[in-house]
């Protein structure tokens, strides 16, 4: 029966007007369960495409209509139509359902007062219908639904919501909705969105997509408020340029700064992709200047195993992110990096040719401290097996460094080495020997062509023990040794282009250089002793507890230093300890410590605690300490006051400056069909410790979308 095909098409506009994802019932909010999936029971001998009709009474006369009465049920594959009376005229091809009907399908449930359908014209009408979407809370009604032909339909007096029937807090309604299924476009007349009886949106004409095909049109607006800039309102418009490219144009108005235009353009082909974003203030009322920020990302695959990329970042002035940033991270941006590269790789090799440049935004960075431009930088890495357990690796780099002030020039770095990998169950041994050579061609230096050649030898080995505990868990014990020998070479005549002393941590216990770049190769005659232990669940391997401790013992003083620093006379490094503990699946604790027993002081300390409780309960506490640099604590919490109301907060405090860096507080109200978030935030906006205060509002209508600024990602980046 074609009538079964009509019903989903006629109501498809409900799905298109508000795309809804399946929702689980929220027990904490006592929300009603989602609409059931009312599918017919399939028989084993059912054939695809065959329509079965069941009725208690059947009346058929020659040359007249056929009438089914009492408990009529039409079943076609996974669709079903139920009614008390159905009349079919084989001459005209018309089907009439004069009374109630109930349609059930995989995508829609419909109840209507009456219906008729012309099988020859393939058109029909349903009156006084209500619908629901199985697996979701989406529901609605329409005075009538007409199928004009297989590709066009019209709904009169249509509405949609995801709220329970007894409390329709928000509703999307229209006096009429027309849809073109072939073009995938719907058109609503007198469309209006109300929330708690208050109109939020009205449009005499509204166009929207009926399927997953993209369509040009306005997106939901955003708005906020800051004490410095006043109200901030943005209205984005989406432009579907072509199947492989689109753009979003955003008209933004900042009360105390003026209008802002934002453009985002994206494109994608079989070998290329790119994205261009720009924000432009024609005239900032507070500074009197034209201001902008733009970024461009481009990727291309010219051939198998090759990837080219371009990344450009530029701002009109140093204070762009300080004035227009939305949080502490934006305010702390020091550099904008632009780069271009071409990378290729094979089974045993990887080659890259790259170049980069930096825009310095931090006023405290002088000309002699600015990062160097690398124009270009070429690297070739080889790692391939040899006979038996032998393996050969080769790391190389050729770079030209340029800057307005200081020494400039080219550098070549070559590091071939041979490894022997001896692996067996429960133990391993890896000796390695290589030679690292660096040569320069410089401008503005006393020595124009300095060089350095350094042999590097290492031996790394370890054991792995495990035992089954009485609790059924597995405990491991993994001792590890690493010996490194690098003879001293005088490197005071070598420039420092991109080399810094590495931040010391557990991974540095097993590294062949304590510096980040080849301008300095640290001398070494040292032995690392480390121990790791894990507590694992035997059934799924879940790591309940993991702890590591290690230290480097120096057999000679560390002579190679940056600049003209004196040799470091120490018997060993700081002791490094790391701990990760999950006493429960919802609780994670991590800690780290670097203790210098020679100076009897803590160099580095960190602590993190993340707890995920029932419902919306979540809390996190973090602490970071690095001597003479950082001493900060960070606390975040989301706490439900009631089943519907959550309080959120965050405090970031610096003990070194005795100052709050960021303070956030907010309220989240969550119901079955809508959420409201009110957030106030204060943060350090510049290097003079000036603060900004802003307020953000977001209203989310579940199953429809959100209005306002995106929610603050309170627990982003936490395990």
Average the pLDDT over each of 148-162, 230-244, 299-313, 447-461 and give the range with the smallest value: 148-162
Q: Per-residue b/e over 13-45, b at no fewer than 16 CB within 10 Å?
A: bbbbbbebeebeeeeeeebeebbeebebeeeee
pLDDT value at residue 95:
86
Cα maximum dimension of the chain: 113
Q: What is the pLDDT of residues 330-377, one digit of tens each?
A: 667 888 999 999 999 999 999 999 999 999 988 778 888 899 999 999
Residue 518 clears pLDDT 80, i.e. is over it: yes
Q: How is residue 367 annotated by DSSP?
A: G
Of residues 82 and 213, the one with the higher pLDDT is 82
Cβ–Cβ under 8 Å, residues 115 and 124: yes
Residue 719 clears pLDDT 80, i.e. is over it: no
Residue 572 clears pLDDT 70, i.e. is over it: yes
Residue 710 clears pLDDT 60, i.e. is over it: no
* Cα separation, 34 vs 38, whole angstroms: 12
pLDDT value at residue 654:
92
Tracing tokens 């969105």 back to the chain, one arrives at 193
Domain ranges of the chain: 3-215, 423-563
Closest Cα to residue 109, out of 72, 151, 79? Answer: 79
Q: What is the pLDDT of residues 596-633, one digit of tens each?
A: 988 889 999 999 999 988 877 899 999 999 988 899 99
Give the C-alpha distances (Å, rounded to integers) separating 650 from 97, 477, 678, 692, 717: 61, 39, 14, 16, 14
Cβ–Cβ under 8 Å, residues 707 and 228: no
Cβ–Cβ under 8 Å, residues 430 and 460: yes
State the DSSP H helix or E strand holding residue 186, giving kind and residue range, or none if neither: strand 185-195
Closest Cα to residue 408, out of 385, 435, 381, 441? Answer: 441
* Cα separation, 163 vs 171, whole angstroms: 8
Q: Is 196 left (phi over 0), alpha (psi -120 to 50) or beta?
A: left
CA dihedral 484, 490, 495, 499 (to 10 degrees): 20
Contacts of 306 (CB under 8 A, 6+ apart): 342, 343, 344
* Cα separation, 335 vs 321, whole angstroms: 11
Cβ–Cβ under 8 Å, residues 285 and 258: yes
Q: Per-residue b/e over 95-117, b at no fewer than 16 CB within 10 Å?
A: bbbeeebebbbeebbbbbebbbb
- The CA-CA-CA angle for residues 467, 472, 476, to 5°, reads 30
pLDDT value at residue 145:
87
Residue 24 clears pLDDT 70, i.e. is over it: no
Average the pLDDT over each of 185-189, 338-342, 570-574, 650-654 and give the range with the smallest value: 185-189
Contacts of 338 (CB under 8 A, 6+ apart): 311, 312, 313, 314, 356, 357, 358, 359
* Cα separation, 344 vs 691, whole angstroms: 47
pLDDT value at residue 421:
94
Tracing tokens 């309940």 back to the chain, one arrives at 544
Tokens of 503: 């931040």
* Cα separation, 646 vs 615, whole angstroms: 10
| SS percent in the chain: helix, strand, coil, step 5 | 5, 60, 35
Cβ–Cβ under 8 Å, residues 110 and 87: no
Q: The whole model's pTM is what?
A: 0.76
pLDDT value at residue 339:
97
Cβ–Cβ under 8 Å, residues 104 and 123: no
How many Cα neighbours within 13 Å face the side chain of 616?
Answer: 22
Contacts of 254 (CB under 8 A, 6+ apart): 229, 230, 231, 232, 260
Res. 208 pLDDT band, cuts 50 70 90: low
Instruction: Give the sign of the dihedral formed by CA 569, CA 435, CA 408, CA 293.
Output: negative
* Cα separation, 38 vs 102, whole angstroms: 10
Average the pLDDT over each of 103-112, 140-149, 627-636, 638-647 and give the range with the smallest value: 103-112
Tokens of 588: 């994670």
- Checking 391-398 for CB contacts under 8 A at 24+ apart, the result is 391/418, 391/419, 391/420, 391/421, 392/416, 392/417, 392/418, 392/419, 393/417, 393/418, 393/419, 393/434, 397/518
pLDDT value at residue 568:
80
Q: Which fold has domain 3-215?
A: lipopolysaccharide transport protein A fold (2.60.450)
Cβ–Cβ under 8 Å, residues 351 and 477: no
How many Cα neighbours within 13 Å face the side chain of 71?
Answer: 4
Q: Three-state secondary structure along 296-347?
A: EEEEECCCCCEEEEEEEEEECCCCHHHHHCCCHHHHCCCEEEEEEEEEEECC
- Name 272's bridge partners: 300
State the DSSP H helix or E strand holding residue 16, giving kind and residue range, or none if neither: helix 3-17
Q: Per-residue b/e over 334-364, b at no fewer than 16 CB within 10 Å?
A: eebebbbbbebeeeeeebbbbbbbbebbeee
How many Cα neighbours within 13 Å face the side chain of 19?
Answer: 6
Q: In 10 A of CB 333, how many CB atoms?
A: 15
Cβ–Cβ under 8 Å, residues 268 and 244: yes
Q: What is the pLDDT of residues 281-299, one digit of tens each?
A: 999 999 999 999 999 999 9
Cβ–Cβ under 8 Å, residues 473 and 536: yes
Mean pLDDT of the chain, nearest integer: 86
């Amino acid at each position: 029966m074609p009538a079964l095909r009509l019903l989903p098409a006629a109501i498809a506009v409900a799905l298109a007007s508000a795309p809804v994802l399946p929702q689980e019932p929220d027990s904490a909010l006592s929300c009603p369960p989602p609409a059931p999936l009312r599918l017919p029971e399939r028989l084993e001998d059912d054939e695809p495409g065959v329509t079965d009709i069941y009725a208690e009474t059947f009346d058929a006369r020659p040359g007249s209509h056929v009438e089914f009465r009492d408990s009529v049920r039409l079943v076609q594959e996974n669709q079903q139509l139920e009614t008390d009376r159905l009349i079919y005229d084989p001459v005209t091809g018309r089907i009439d359902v004069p009374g109630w009907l109930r349609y059930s399908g995989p995508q829609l449930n419909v109840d209507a007062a009456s219906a008729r359908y012309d099988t020859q014209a393939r058109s029909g009408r349903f009156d006084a219908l209500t619908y629901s979407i199985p697996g979701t809370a989406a529901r609605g009604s329409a005075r009538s639904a007409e199928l004009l032909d297989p590709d066009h339909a019209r709904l009169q007096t249509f509405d949609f919501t995801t709220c329970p029937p007894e409390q329709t807090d928000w509703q999307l309604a229209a006096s009429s909705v027309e849809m073109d299924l072939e073009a995938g476009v719907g058109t609503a007349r007198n469309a209006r969105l109300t929330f708690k009886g208050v109109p939020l949106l009205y449009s005499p004409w509204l166009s929207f997509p009926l399927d997953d095909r993209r369509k040009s049109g306005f997106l939901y607006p955003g708005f906020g408020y800051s004490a410095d800039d006043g109200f901030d309102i943005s209205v984005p418009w989406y432009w579907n340029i072509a199947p492989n490219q689109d753009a979003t144009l955003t008209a933004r108005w900042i009360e105390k700064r003026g209008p802002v235009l934002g453009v985002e353009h994206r494109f994608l082909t079989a070998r290329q992709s790119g994205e261009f974003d720009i924000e432009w203030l024609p005239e900032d009322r507070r500074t009197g200047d034209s201001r902008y920020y733009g970024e461009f990302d481009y990727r291309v695959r010219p051939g198998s195993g090759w990837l080219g990329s371009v990344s450009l970042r530029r701002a009109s002035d140093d204070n762009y992110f300080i004035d227009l940033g939305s949080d502490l991270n934006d305010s702390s941006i020091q550099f904008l990096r632009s780069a271009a590269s071409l990378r290729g790789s094979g089974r045993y090799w990887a080659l890259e040719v790259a170049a980069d440049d930096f825009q310095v935004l931090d006023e405290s960075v002088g000309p002699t401290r600015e990062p160097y431009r690398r124009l270009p930088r070429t690297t070739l890495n080889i790692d391939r097996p040899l006979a038996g357990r032998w393996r050969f690796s080769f790391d190389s780099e050729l770079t030209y460094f340029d800057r307005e002030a200081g020494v400039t020039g080219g550098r070549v770095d070559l590091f071939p080495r041979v490894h022997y990998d001896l692996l067996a169950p429960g133990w391993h041994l890896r000796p390695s020997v290589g030679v690292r050579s660096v040569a320069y061609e410089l401008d503005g230096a006393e020595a124009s062509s300095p060089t350095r050649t350094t042999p590097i030898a290492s031996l790394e080995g370890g054991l792995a023990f495990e035992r089954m505990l009485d609790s059924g868990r597995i405990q491991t014990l993994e001792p590890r040794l690493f010996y490194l020998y690098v003879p001293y070479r005088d490197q005071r005549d070598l420039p420092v282009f991109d080399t810094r002393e590495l931040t010391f941590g557990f991974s540095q216990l097993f590294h062949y250089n304590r510096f980040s770049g080849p301008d300095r190769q640290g001398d070494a005659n040292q032995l690392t002793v480390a121990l790791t232990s894990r507590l694992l669940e035997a059934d799924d391997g879940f790591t309940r507890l993991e702890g590591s401790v290690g230290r480097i013992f120096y057999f000679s003083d560390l002579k190679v230093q940056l600049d003209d620093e004196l040799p470091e006379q120490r018997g060993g490094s700081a002791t490094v300890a790391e701990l990760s503990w999950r006493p429960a699946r919802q609780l994670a604790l991590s800690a780290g410590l670097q203790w210098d027993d020679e100076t009897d002081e803590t160099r580095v300390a960190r602590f993190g605690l993340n707890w995920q409780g029932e419902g919306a309960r979540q809390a996190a506490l973090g602490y970071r300490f690095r001597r003479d640099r950082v001493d900060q604590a960070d606390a975040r919490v989301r706490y439900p006051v009631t089943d519907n109301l959550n309080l959120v907060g965050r405090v970031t405090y610096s003990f070194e400056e005795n100052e709050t860096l960021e303070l956030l507080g907010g309220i989240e109200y969550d119901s079955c069909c809508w959420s409201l978030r009110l957030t106030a935030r204060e943060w350090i906006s510049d290097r003079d410790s000036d603060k900004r205060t802003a307020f953000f509002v977001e209203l989310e209508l579940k199953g429809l979308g959100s209005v306002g600024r995106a929610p603050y990602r309170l627990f982003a980046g936490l395990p």
